[in-house]
Amino acid sequence: MTNSIYLTTIEPYSGKSLVSLGIMEHLLRRTPNVGVFRPVIEVPPDKGCDKNIELLIKYFNLDLDYEDTYAFYRHEVADLIAEGRYDEVLDKIIEKYKALEEKCDFILCIGSDFHEGGSAVEFNYNADIARNLGSPVLLVTSGADDSIDEIINEVKISFEAFEESGCQMLGAVVNRTDPDLIDDLQEAMEDE
């Protein structure tokens, strides 16, 4: 049995923060010692804390040191990848994750925030991280302004891409969908 979930998306503004709150609530009902880990965060220390980590720690009163809940800032990863030191990125992420794993019974991993223009790179390192941590992936996607066929196609393509990267897929959450489409979308997804 796995002791983690890797929550990720393939696009910005999918509602990953909201989904992480619901998942954490569910996890804490089953085990009291749940950690949160974000391999890559945006916010450098002089600008405050990562909003997702801070929200989860404060809202659920998690007994975690903020510094233990992430491995890199986005600019550090970009610099290391540009220098051809991608393996060092993965090594440090795994090291930080394993240290947190020693303290927690279960870890909710939250992938990076996507920014315009960097989607392919971010997808690749989110898939690499999830695979290397052995965490099954829960995909969060936005259904805003999309038809059922568009949503289904996006989920199928994303699933296939993660599976081709060697990731185990746990499921998908389609967020921000037109309420009038929910029943038909759910039926269509069950048929896939």
CA angle centred on 129, ends 128 and 134, rounded to 5°: 100
pLDDT at 184 over 90: no
Please check whether residue 34 is in contact with residue 106, taking contact to mean a CB–CB distance below 8 angstroms: yes
pLDDT (0 to 100) of residue 117: 47
Given pLDDT bands bounded at 50, 70 and 90, which one contains residue 22?
Answer: very high
12 pLDDT more than 80: no
Q: What is the pLDDT of residues 110-122, one digit of tens each?
A: 998 765 544 667 7
Contact by Cβ (8 Å): 10, 139: yes
Calculate mean pLDDT across residues 116-144.
Answer: 83
Q: Each residue of 71-120: pLDDT tens digit?
A: 999 889 889 999 999 999 999 999 999 999 999 999 999 998 765 544 66
Q: What is the CB neighbour count within 10 angstroms for residue 49?
A: 16
pTM of the model: 0.90
